[in-house]
Amino acid sequence: MQAKQSENSSGGRTALAKLLVIGALLALCAPTQAANQAVEQAAFTVPAADQPFVTNAVPHLQAYLRIDTVNPPGNESRGVAYLAKLLEAAGIEYETAESAPGRGNIWARIPGGRKPALVLLHHIDVVPSNEDYWDTEPLSGEIRDGYLYGRGALDTKGLGIAQLEAFLALHASGRKPNRDVIFLATADEEAGGEFGAGYMVREHASLFRKVGFLLNEGGGGSQTPGGPLFSVEATQKVPLWLKLVARGNPGHGSAPQAETAVTRLVRALHRISQTKFPARAHPAVADMFAGLAPFQAGGQAAKFAQIEESVKDANFLAQLQLDNPPLHALLRNTCSMTRLQGSAKINVVPAEVTAELDCRLLPDQDPAEFTKELAVIINDPAVEIEKLMGFSPAVSSIDTALFKEISELLTERYPGSRILPSVAGGFTDSHFFRDMGIVSYGFAPFVLPPTDRRGIHGNNERILVAQLEQGTATFIELLRRFTR
């Protein structure tokens, strides 16, 4: 097989960015075979009542992976129909809604006590695949050498099935939980979420009226020589997508002018490219670096532990950018130039040219103030800045009962493991709910070899069958403890 990744839409590339920081964390802790075996053999007793749900996770995920919900176009209603069948079989009422033809969303509720409700969120859609570079058919759900293959196995149908089995187990227990628990599966996350989570918060806001917590994608565990390393995503850099529009006199390419739209845009882009936005350690980022410090060699451990001071060291920042660009990006606002559009003909000087910027801001950065700062840097009234997309800054506190339950359970089940609050360089649907004041964490209960994460948006996406079962058992126990 050739080591080539499939190309995805801009939405897919954006979703891939959310995984870069997890990959950066894991790159610092390269696994050994001994570490792999230690995690795979991690043992805990699954209660007899939970075993059917743990066992069902494998065939349920196989069937889910075989349903084509590739976005574009999505067709998530196909996945909704499958999830509805499982809920019906368990005697659980549910609701569905389409934001557009074929763009389905589904949710169900287990009523409970008066404590703030918990939402279990995953997205139904998956990114495209190039089957020429897969060992199996991408939508096969095939099991081979202990792995379950399929687009969505990790992002995020596998997580969705683990959540669903925990939801079904809670319902089957007959126990009234201390809070409502809502299972929610949405469309369109891979293209921004407007037909899924965005639609739900706009058109079905009452569903979230008493919600206090949400679990979603964005974190996970990995095998390392020192034991499992888990990240729990608590905030994200704020995306701000901008378009620069430069205008000038058109003309013929054979008669160069002193100033054109093209020269103005080139100058503006050069000024941006030469600007290094101030480095600083947001508190959530500082916590993450402190958690990573024990994994660093030599003097880097102290640098990570004291990152608020280390950001003042230009040499440290330059080396970090070379060694680990995703981690470096968490220490400052950034802008990447991604798209350019100019003349339709080589011999025509255009009246208008554009460039698009993918800017990612620190979690407490005001986007409007940043845009004003960018205008000062460009310093050209003939270059306009248009906002294409942007979200509000939001951080979920880790000083909560849910984060405590996650940490205690993982420490108990995986002795020697480390649990780190993390900051994502990209974004997930969690931002829709953080904007509503809902504490939202990215947490997947699977412990993966770091190399397996390459399959997310890449080739041969897969999950170890043993880890699917073990992660499902962990999610069942987490839900039991948090709702007792």
The secondary structure element, H or E, covering residue 81 is helix 76-89
Structure tokens at 469: 């079962």
The distance of Cα 399 from the centroid of its chain, to the nearest Å, equals 21
Angle at 389 between CA 387 and CA 391, to 5 degrees: 115
pLDDT mean across residues, the chain: 91
Angle at 129 between CA 125 and CA 134, to 5 degrees: 130
Read off the pLDDT of residues 95-107 as tens digits, 9 standing for 90 and up. 999 999 999 999 9
Helix (H, G, I), strand (E, B) or coil at 122: strand
Helices (H), 293-351: 300-305, 307-310, 314-323, 325-329
Per-residue pLDDT band for 21 (boundaries 50, 70, 90) equals low
Lowest mean pLDDT among 14-23, 68-77, 112-121, 232-241: 14-23
Residue 79 · residue 187 · CB < 8 Å: no
Q: What is the mean pLDDT of residues 49-68?
A: 98
The secondary structure element, H or E, covering residue 467 is helix 465-482
User: In the predicted model, is pLDDT for residue 245 greater than 90?
Assistant: yes
Is 10-236+394-482 assigned to CATH 3.40.630.10? yes
Domains 10-236+394-482 and 239-277+333-390 share a fold: no
Query: What pLDDT does residue 180 have?
Result: 98
> Dihedral sign, CA of 119, 463, 135, 456?
positive
What is the value of pTM for the model shown?
A: 0.86
Read off the pLDDT of residues 109-157 as tens digits, 9 standing for 90 and up. 999 999 999 999 999 999 999 999 999 999 999 999 999 999 999 999 9
User: In the predicted model, is pLDDT for residue 220 greater than 60?
Assistant: yes
Per-residue pLDDT band for 261 (boundaries 50, 70, 90) equals very high
Q: What is the mean pLDDT of residues 314-322?
A: 96
Q: What is the mean pLDDT of residues 206-210?
A: 97
Interacting residues of 61 by C-beta distance below 8 A, sequence separation 6+: 141, 148, 150, 153, 157, 158, 161, 463, 468
User: In the predicted model, is pLDDT for residue 468 greater than 80?
Assistant: yes
Highest mean pLDDT among 28-37, 217-226, 426-435: 426-435
Query: What pLDDT does residue 24 have?
Result: 57
- What is the Cα–Cα distance from 398 to 232, expressed in whole angstroms? 9
- What is the Cα–Cα distance from 251 to 270, expressed in whole angstroms? 23
Q: What is the mean pLDDT of residues 235-264?
A: 96
Establish whether the linkage from the previous residue to 73 is cis, with ω within 30° of 0.
Answer: yes
Helix (H, G, I), strand (E, B) or coil at 329: helix
User: In the predicted model, is pLDDT for residue 37 greater than 80?
Assistant: no
- What is the Cα–Cα distance from 206 to 200, expressed in whole angstroms? 9
Interacting residues of 385 by C-beta distance below 8 A, sequence separation 6+: 242, 243, 244, 245, 371, 374, 375, 378
Query: What pLDDT does residue 222 have?
Result: 86
Interacting residues of 189 by C-beta distance below 8 A, sequence separation 6+: 15, 123, 125, 156, 196, 197, 428, 429
Q: What is the mean pLDDT of residues 430-441?
A: 96
Query: What pLDDT does residue 43 have?
Result: 60
Backbone angles phi, psi at 257, to 5 degrees: -100, 165
- What is the Cα–Cα distance from 335 to 412, expressed in whole angstroms? 41
Structure tokens at 48: 């007899």
- What is the Cα–Cα distance from 191 to 103, expressed in whole angstroms? 12
User: In the predicted model, is pLDDT for residue 2 greater than 80?
Assistant: no
Nearest CA among 320, 324, 323 for reference residue 307: 320
**What are the strands, taking DSSP E only, across 124-189?**
143-144, 147-149, 179-186
Residue 77 · residue 103 · CB < 8 Å: yes
The domain limits of the chain are 10-236+394-482, 239-277+333-390
Q: What is the CATH number of domain 239-277+333-390?
A: 3.30.70.360
Query: What pLDDT does residue 294 have?
Result: 87
The secondary structure element, H or E, covering residue 231 is strand 229-236
